[in-house]
Structure 1
């Protein structure tokens, strides 16, 4: 069943909501679920307000730091399969890096460009500039839950997850105005594709978002 995805232009103008990742084009796997059911579940991992995830394979990865003014909690972000855990680790860092790019007012933030390539790099940069050009930063908190990592037969990866933006807001650094995310628009489903490079790093190549697809 085809669905209409939130375009980048909407993500840029919808500053009343965080819309925490830029959207891109791309096909989803046929065996992937359209919706992730349930708004809870999973053990709560430590809040990712600062620091980086574990660095599998010993590859050197940039450190991602978020200020105390914006925290992100990840729930159920573990998998018994080390290959799938590697996708979770790098997908998590890419998401945190996109937040950090906004807060640091830097669309070329090194960790964001490190974990992004292809369509995800282009659309993500445009999305970040939609905040930075308007002097907006993120405050409050976000919750990321119900991750679904997979490795396709061709060796590429997919990572679906839900984000609850209900406790997050944007702040205009010039005027001090704070705009909260509307409660009825807070849950967002993310569909991402990843590609593993020769250093063993899973880089995000495509991102699609859909509001209302997490139940």
Structure 2
């Protein structure tokens, strides 16, 4: 039940997703040079940036026990990379929370999306809500790869990760019918996301693309 390319009829078109780094791609050692000045999370400016980001009043997102979204190895020794991972994780949680709450206009999701990225996310959510279905089961997100893009403002990052839909399904809100991927469908989906850092210091999804298959766990 991966994001944007979920099972069967409710699958979200790849062209409507956001952009991340390839799953299983190599680490980019230049990521420490983001913002074109600070090197390493131990610098004063990096520490100040991390503190400012942590001080933002982020939404408190909860998911019901009927849908277990897990994040395997979403950690980094680099404070800047960890900030990207933390916000990207919450954006994904906010998206599924919106589906479950039948709320395409979720303010929590809007908090974690840019103005250009939000319409894509709403379209993804509506691919469920328009069909009156929700999501259930388990969905692990794993093998995240962050790249901090070196540019003039240091506010762009890419993230690649994979999900495994083997134990995730959709459930019709009215009939209770549960549907998973058709037999023979590769349950693993790779996502490539582009993120932009807001003035508040929040890493927001700007675009997403997805491709079924190609993940190695």
Distance 1:200 1:123 in 2: 22
Instruction: Tell me the TM-score normalized by structure 2.
Output: 0.76
The RMSD of aligned alpha carbons is 2.5
CA offsets per residue over residues 38-91 of structure 1, 9 Å max, x none? xxxxxxxxxxxxxxxxx9431110011100000111111100000000000000
Higher relative contact order (CA 8 A, sep 6+): 2
Instruction: Tell me the TM-score normalized by structure 1.
Output: 0.77
Change (3 A) 1:97 1:58: same
Matched, 1:127 2:124: yes
How far does residue 124 in structure 1 lie from its aligned partner after superposition? 1.2
Distance 1:25 1:197 in 2: 17
SS at match of 1:86: helix
Q: Which runs of 5+ in 1 are unaligned?
A: 1-7, 38-54
Task: Work out whether residues 25 and 119 of structure 1, in 8 Å CA contact, stay in contact via their aligned partners in 2.
Answer: no
Question: Which protein shows a greater Rg?
Answer: 2
Q: Give the number of aligned pairs.
A: 183
Q: Which runs of 5+ in 2 are unaligned?
A: 26-51
Change (3 A) 1:127 1:86: same
CA offsets per residue over residues 131-157 of structure 1, 9 Å max, x none? 001110000010000000111012201
Aligned pairs for 1:104-115 (under 5 A) are 104-115=101-112
